[in-house]
Structure 1
Amino acid sequence: MIICRTKHELKQHLSSFRNENKGIGFVPTMGFLHEGHASLLRQAAAENNISVLSIFVNPLQFGPNEDLDRYPRDEERDLALAEACGIDLVFIPSVQEMYPERPLTSVIVNQVTDRLCGASRPGHFDGVGTVVSKLFHLVSPDRAYFGMKDAQQVAVIQQMVNDLNFSVQIVPSPIIREPDGLALSSRNVFLNAEQRVQAVVLSKSLEQASKWANEPEMTIERLETLVKEQISKAGEAEIDYVELLKYPSLQAPDANSAIATFSQPLILALAVKFGATRLIDNRIIETSEVNLHV
């Protein structure tokens, strides 16, 4: 497994791969890898001649009061996992390498970022769009793999790729969960024992919501209210948002609309804090399935 820490090294190695007409799969991450990342790495390795992982904690996507310095890091463990998953090349640049000067150019995706984390974390997706754009230019992958745990990020990246004509296929992959249902996240390590128990309310609420969605005349607003009530039963849960939106446009439907009337998928997205730890989760609700039960 090749490890590159500079853009020059990366370009040199990738140039030799391209000269051999080898397809490249790419998984951009911020490190502290878990089984959710591992599933993406294994898929990239299986579906491409060459698989590339990037590990970079991107300061542009953290706000002034967010956890950039607290974000967990374990390079040695990440590299061992990457090698076990069959990754061919790992790019681990420093902040200075990626941003030798303060960037005066950024990639801003509108509308898709108006709600959810885009609303509660201003500037976050500008940072995401900018760094992913840089990485796509550096790696020039044929396919790039993203987990659906951050479904808004997937929608934002896909919009950017469509609008700017990147020659890369975006491959969304399912959420990987703990046995009790909690979505895997690098931030789970910050939960104390009681918060970890309570955090399972997120996946349980999403599961219950998929059943409520099948009830005749269940509306957008009513479902959101029921889920908020369910989550609030966990004593330490502090809700940032609970929203049922069209996907992938992430536009808000009429709150009084019956869920069964929609012909496109909806996404129920959650962001909830347990102490200082903010967790996100979501579930796609296929409205065609709802219609079958109405």
Structure 2
Amino acid sequence: MNQKQKNMTKTVLFYAGNAVVALIFISPLLWMISASLKPESQIFSGMNSIKTFIPLGASLKNYVEVFTRIAMMKYIVRSLIYVFIIIVLDLFVNSICGYALAKFDFVGKELLLTIVISLMVLPMESIMLPLYKQVADFGWVNQYAGLIVPFIAKCFSIYMFRQFFVDIPNELLEAASIDGSGPIKTFFNIVVPISGTVYATIFILDFVAHWNDFMWPMLVVTSEDMRTIQLAIQTFFGTKPINYGSIMASLTVSAVPMLIMFVALQKYYVEGIASTGIKG
């Protein structure tokens, strides 16, 4: 076997292995979609064979039930609004903080960066109760402020932005300063336009985290008018009779915005993870 054949064999094995791993990872998603199209009696049949992924007798009955049983579009729109508000504020506030830590010198800068990195390891569960008490004291329970304000500043986002901005050449910023551009103008006119990858990365991570969030909305939302998409889906689990076809259909519907967003931004996401991950 010559070198060309060896390289071809390695390439085929590489892509074949990736395809197998990809199928393993997306198999739950494929099963969920298949189950959402099946009659209730067929959802858990043939679980030990490939037939479980084939929606025999497929219909949209479960999806019709989802949109007639609850006001699904209302929950989707409401969730999109509050999630996008969080994302916009996150990108604005934390990018400025990350830029300051990357390019400005001030007293306590290293200590502040150390604190940011240290706080990244704290799980949400460890601060959820005191955070809820603070939100309740402010009167933000069952208010959009309670859903949004606690998640504007994020240590992880600050660190990601800082890691990306560190590698922007100082000469570029100095040239802008010589041309009469102040720090704020330089940031918005020069730094932001060339930082699309890290913004897209934070956008995706934020969207997935808050779109799928169930615990915090469950704590601060007490009325029907404030329910998010994940709380709405819980209706199908807690109301009898439990129809697993409707559950799978509702989960599939809730996954669509994430899939659309990720497909549209995946190129920038991969580039952003790669670029921020190799900098010190």
Higher strand share: 1
Higher helix share: 2
Task: Choose 1 or 2 for highest CA Rg.
Answer: 2
Structure of higher RCO (CA pairs closer than 8 Å, 6+ residues apart) = 2
For normalisation by structure 1, the TM-score amounts to 0.24
